[in-house]
Structure 1
Amino acid sequence: MKPIWIVDDDASIRWVLEKALARENLETRSFSNARDALAAFATDTPQVLVSDIRMPGESGLDLLAVVKEQHPGLPVIIITAFSDLDSAVASFQGGAFEYLAKPFDIDKAVALIRRALEESLREASVETLPADTPEILGQAPAMQEVFRAIGRLSQSNVTVLITGESGTGKELVAHALHKHSPRAAQPFIALNTAAIPKDLLESELFGHERGAFTGAQATRRGRFEQAENGTLFLDEIGDMPFDLQTRLLRVLSDGHFYRVGGHQPIKANVRVITATHQNLEQRVREGQFREDLFHRLNVIRLRLPSLRERREDIPLLARHFLLQSARQLGGETKRMSEAAMQFLVGLDLPGNVRQLENLCNWITVMAPGQTVEVKDLPLDLTQGAGFVSPYAADAAGASVLPAPVPLSAAGALAVPAPSSGMSSNLPAAFAAGADGWISLLELQAANMLAAGQVEVMDVLGKQFESALIKTALKHTHGRKNDAAVRLGIGRNTITRKIAELGIDGAKDE
């Protein structure tokens, strides 16, 4: 790991930060002015840069501008006096990661540098991803199974049926199968059978002879001919018209086909890969899909997991798409705050990876700051359908914290399994342990403060106390004296709190 650079003309500030970071086993390198720091960039780069805003010669904002132009992924923390807050806020437009206002608490400063350090390491891992496309990203066990299957299938000519929800990356997998196959130097041709009108689909697949139908003024090669010696990918095969299924079956069976209006058989040397989001077995039972074609296509089935089944991959994918969006759109790479990333991990995202990519494009264009908070996300995600907020609304419309979650024996938050007929909509943040629910508490406080609510401490404090006491009473079967002992408070205190909070079900014995 590279050192953290500290740029400040005040020797005492440099000394304090050096000593504090050394206690954290973090290497540092210090400079008394921006000019020396810029000169050092010629031979080295830091993991994180911490710079004062006002220094003799070039200012911290000047340094920021040069650094972000040459090293856009490097987190830069600006140190500022309270009188320079306007400049500090303006620094965000230049791509600053965060700012520290003097006088600052050293522990908070170290925590902020740690956060920037983690972000820098994450960005570095994304930056080192192969540049060629298409890419399939995933560290979840379900995706590792997919990668292993691609490796086993790539050297074979066997027909593959890829299943999975819309947006899970079925075409990317088909690309990968082709790219790593002996046919890689030959064409990869893709056709979405659901996107072509029924009366044109046959011509798209098999081509047509001149004069075969009105408007056929020249002979046209179809997708099978275009993919000769290569791979033909037929997406949404479940939507193929029934009569065309017969023609496709014939090609797969004997390797020959006829152009529309043609009389000469054409030999097809093509590997066929198909994909669908539909249940083909059900389509067969309903008489909408030929059973013999289904068995011909279903030689090897490769199922892609939904994003809900691989939530641990969402941060990796989000960072990749944000970086990709910034490159394509020519802007700065946005970063998700920890709370926003946990919120994102808790989303169902029915559109899967495609929806996540579109969301990252939206964030790159629309999110106001360099660091994206939950409030910066689209309202249809934070308030609309498709996501059950971790905060329910009470009868008065005010946000309230979710029902208490029990602690496991190890002291971490344990997500209860849903009971029969119920579905758990707890966000993934709960499964992350104490940090998860604390982040959600911070988010709730931020939402209430942003909405102009008053007495936030009193409101949240009462909800917190009520949740603890109710949970303790459940564990002691309503015995408040035992509950007081478990909670480490006095009997008079719990009696008073029960009365103040209006908690029912408590008993003295």
Structure 2
Amino acid sequence: MKPIWIVDDDQSIRFVLEKALSREELPTRSFSNPRDVLAALDEGDGSPQVLVSDIRMPGGSGLDLLAQIKQRLPRLPVIIMTAFSDLESAVSAFQGGAFEYLAKPFDVPKAVELIHRALEESQREEVAQERAAAAPEMLGQAPAMQDVFRAIGRLSQSNVTVMITGESGSGKELVARALHKHSPRSGGPFVAINTAAIPKDLLESELFGHERGAFTGAQTMRRGRFEQADGGTLFLDEIGDMPFDLQTRLLRVLSDGQFYRVGGHSAIKANVRVIAATHQNLEQRVKEGAFREDLFHRLNVIRLRLPPLRERGEDIPPLARHFLQQSARQLGVEPKRLSDAALRQLATFSFPGNVRQLENICHWLTVMAPAQTVEVKDLPPEVLGEAPRAESAVPVPVATVGSAAPAEAAVHVEHGAGEAHAPAVAGSNGTPAASLAAQDWESALEAEAARLLARGDADVWGTLVGRAEARLIQAALASTRGRRIEAAHKLGIGRNTITRKIQDLGLDR
């Protein structure tokens, strides 16, 4: 991780932040004035993960530094420090793109917590940029792909609202990013938010921001996603799960381009193109009274439908090759390859999790498969536990797996089409594949425990828990490309916990 740059002419402020962040195992680099910061950037002497800067310093203003930083590193989170008398200036800095402000004198734990928030934002941006850089342009041989290319070309030249439908994991955000990338707004931010992943009582603040004191815990003013996306594109994923009362506010923003922060009294203009996505049948949600009909028609101007992966099995070989290479790059190992038999087995799997599930399987194989060539027996239990579906199997062009041409998920476009739903995944005996997988590892765990107990091992509990923790952490790190904070979040543990576990279990060697 790159260091956190601290800019303040007060040596005691720099010292306090350096020590506090050092205890969090976060690297830092300090500057006493803005000139040295810009000189370091000009000389190519590294760049920060987060910048924390005072406003008033001899030899330069923190606000001027903010403006110049945003020209060079537009996605870098910048935290402005200010004395209380400068609070108005700090709030105005949000218009220049500041992530947050920190009022002096500050509580050190709260300052560290704010820096951690900025770090998470920075790392999310890096993940998005790495995926965009690593992912090739969407390729496809099916005629439906040509429809997609034409649709993206037409839609990207306008501000028309787009609704993307498709099952979870089918690549809806990929299409949204392509619409943004090839549009006149490509120089602006692309901001994505999953409305189903945020608690109802926090979603309004997340979307529209809040004023200081708007509710308990709102100690500072915060910009919402609409403000963050100003001049760019806002991607609202899983829009069908948005609470009904917030749908009214969203409709108002789409209608007149204005909104109010929570607790605010001044209307804020938002120059944002909205792209929405859902895996649900919104027409049915409207009939059930769970989704506003007027909002549905406002969002459903143009609809793009992505087919599930099971309907385009010819894409499985190039996608698997791409994900195996991607995972190997991220973990610094040699890429593994699928044997012809393993590839045929994959082609018979229905992939209820679609492209995302195939990507996760490839990450799992990179970590868990014992040899460079992946055989059928090395595939994860959910793939082996499902009976072949001959009626939907697609002939597999095995030669494409070893070809040099990269490939990305193919998508299919329709206008006004309803969503398809994945059939139930079942094993040969009718038991769901997920249940078979659970039974497999639970039975294996019980058998191993019995073996160690019979042998008279002294610390069976510690041995098995340690091995389980190691597997969990390795799998989480594989799925997050080695990012510890994101892996900890996915596992539901703290960042310090995962760091300590990695050291204790010897996973960093």
TM-score normalised by structure 1 residue count? 0.51
Residue 225 of structure 1 corresponds to which residue in structure 2?
A: 227
Aligned structure 1 segments of 4 or more residues deviating by more than 6 angstroms: none
Cα contact 2:311–2:392 (8 A) shared by 1: no
Pairs within 5 Å for 1:190-205: 190-205=192-207
Corresponding position of 1:136: 138
Shift of 1:333: 1.0
User: 2:157 maps to what in 1?
Assistant: 155
Q: 1:381 aligns with which of 357, 366, 383?
A: 383
2:394 to 417, 428, 434: 428
Q: Is the 8 A contact 2:314 2:396 kept in 1?
A: no
Q: Write the distance in 1 (CA, Å) between the matches of 2:240 and 2:361.
A: 28
Instruction: Within 5 Å, give how 1:107-506 maps onto structure 2.
Output: 131-133=133-135, 135-382=137-384, 384=385, 387-389=386-388, 425=391, 427-429=393-395
Q: Which string of whole-angstrom CA distances, capped at 9 and with x for unpartnered residues, describes residues 227-270 of structure 1?
A: 00110000000000000000000000111101111111111110
Deviation at 1:431, TM superposition (A): 11
* CA distance in structure 2 between the partners assigned to 1:362 and 1:140 by the alignment: 29
1:452-473 deviation per Cα after TM superposition (whole angstroms, max 9, x unaligned): xxxxxxxxxxxxxxxxxxxxxx
- Measure, in 2, the Cα distance between the counterparts of 1:260 and 1:130: 33
**Which one has more relative contact order, counting CA pairs under 8 Å at least 6 apart?**
2
Residue pair 1:325, 1:361 contacting (<8 A) in 2 also: yes
The root-mean-square deviation of aligned C-alpha atoms, in Å, is 2.1
Residues 140/220 of structure 1: CA separation in 2 closer, same or farther (3 Å cut): same
Distance 2:139 2:307 in 1: 13
Aligned-partner Cα distance in 2 for 1:190–1:156: 19
Report the Cα offset of residue 389 of structure 1: 3.5
Report if the CA contact (8 A) 1:233-1:273 is conserved.
yes
Once residues 130 and 431 of structure 1 are traced to their aligned partners in structure 2, the CA distance between those partners, rounded to angstroms, is 27
The whole-number CA distance in structure 1 between the counterparts of 2:294 and 2:373 is 54
The amino acid across from 1:353 in the alignment is V
8 Å Cα contact 1:135-1:172 kept in structure 2: no
Say which SS state the counterpart of residue 333 (structure 1) adopts. Answer: coil
Tell me which moved more, 142-151 or 196-205.
142-151
In the alignment, is the contact (CA less than 8 A) between 2:336 and 2:374 conserved in 1? Answer: yes
Query: One-letter code of the match for 2:394?
Result: A
| Contact kept? 1:206, 1:259, Cα under 8 Å | yes
Letter of the 1:216 counterpart: A
Q: Deviations over 1:134-174 (max 9, x none)?
A: 75343333333222211211111100000000001111111
- Report SS of the residue matched to 1:272: strand
Specify the SS of the correspondent of 1:428. Answer: coil
Q: Within 1, Cα distance between the matches of 2:387 and 2:137?
A: 31
Question: Does the residue aligned with 1:243 lie in a helix, a strand or coil?
Answer: helix
Q: CA deviation at 1:325?
A: 0.9
* Contact 1:191-1:235 at 8 Å conserved across structures: yes
Secondary structure of the residue that 1:150 maps to in structure 2?
A: helix
| Residues 17-28 of structure 1 mapped to structure 2, 5 A cutoff | none
Q: Aligned-pair distance for 1:376?
A: 1.3
Q: Deviations over 1:177-235 (max 9, x none)?
A: 11110000011111000011000000000011111111111111100000001100000
Query: CA offset at residue 335 of structure 1?
Result: 1.0
- Shift of the alpha carbon at 1:344? 1.0
Deviation at 1:342, TM superposition (A): 1.5
CA distance in 1, matches of 2:356, 2:381: 19
Letter of the 2:326 counterpart: Q
Q: Percent identity?
A: 77
Cα pair 1:140 1:313 within 8 Å, conserved: no
> Hey, what's the Cα distance between the residues in 1 that align with 2:258 and 2:133?
38
Q: Offset of 1:425 from its aligned partner?
A: 4.6
Separation in 2 of the partners of 1:246 and 1:426? 42
The aligned amino acid for 2:306 is L
Aligned-residue offset at 1:130: 9.4
Distance 1:430 1:262 in 2: 58
1:311, 1:274 → 2: CA distance? 26
User: Using the alignment, how far apart are the partners of 2:133 and 2:258 within structure 1?
Assistant: 38
Tell me, yes or no, if the aligned pair for 1:137 and 1:317 is still in contact at 8 Å.
Answer: no
Aligned partners of 1:287 and 1:324: how far apart in 2? 43
C-alpha change, 1:131 and 1:225, in structure 2 (3 Å) is closer
Compared CA separation, residues 252 and 356, structure 1 to 2 (3 A): same
Distance of 1:293 and 1:369 partners within structure 2: 52
Take 1:302 and 1:242, find their aligned partners in 2: how far apart are those partners?
24
Letter in 2 for 1:164: G
Alignment gaps of 5+ in structure 1: 1-128, 391-423, 433-509
2:347/2:396 contact within 8 Å kept? no
Q: What is the CA-CA distance between 1:363 and the residue it aligns to?
A: 1.1
| Count of equivalent residues | 268
Alpha-carbon distance in 2 for matches of 1:374, 1:141: 32
Map Cα deviations across residues 96-152 of structure 1 (whole Å, 9 max, x no partner): xxxxxxxxxxxxxxxxxxxxxxxxxxxxxxxxx995447534333333322221121
Stretches of structure 2 that go unaligned for 5 or more consecutive residues are: 1-130, 399-509
Letter in 1 for 2:387: V
Whole-angstrom distance in 1 between the partners of 2:175 and 2:141? 15
Distance 2:140 2:259 in 1: 39
Q: Which moved more, 1:308-317 or 1:134-143?
A: 134-143
Contact in 2 for aligned 1:140/1:312 (Cα 8 Å): no
Structure 1 residues 233 and 134: CA distance shift in structure 2, 3 A: farther
For 1:198 and 1:324, how far apart are their aligned partners in 2? 35
CA distance in 2, matches of 1:296, 1:303: 17
- Aligned equivalents of 2:176, 2:191: Cα separation in 1: 10
SS at match of 2:163: strand
CA distance in structure 2 between the partners assigned to 1:167 and 1:142 by the alignment? 19
Note the 1:46-85 alignment, pairs <5 A: none
Q: In the TM superposition, what whole-angstrom CA distance separates every residue of 1:270-318 from its partner, at most 9, and x where no partner exists?
A: 0000000000000000000000000000001011111011111111101
Letter in 1 for 2:301: V
Is the 8 Å Cα contact of residues 134 and 326 (structure 2) preserved in structure 1? Answer: no
- The 1:130–1:288 alpha-carbon spacing in structure 2 relative to 1, beyond 3 Å, is closer
Which amino acid in 2 is paired with 1:349?
Answer: F
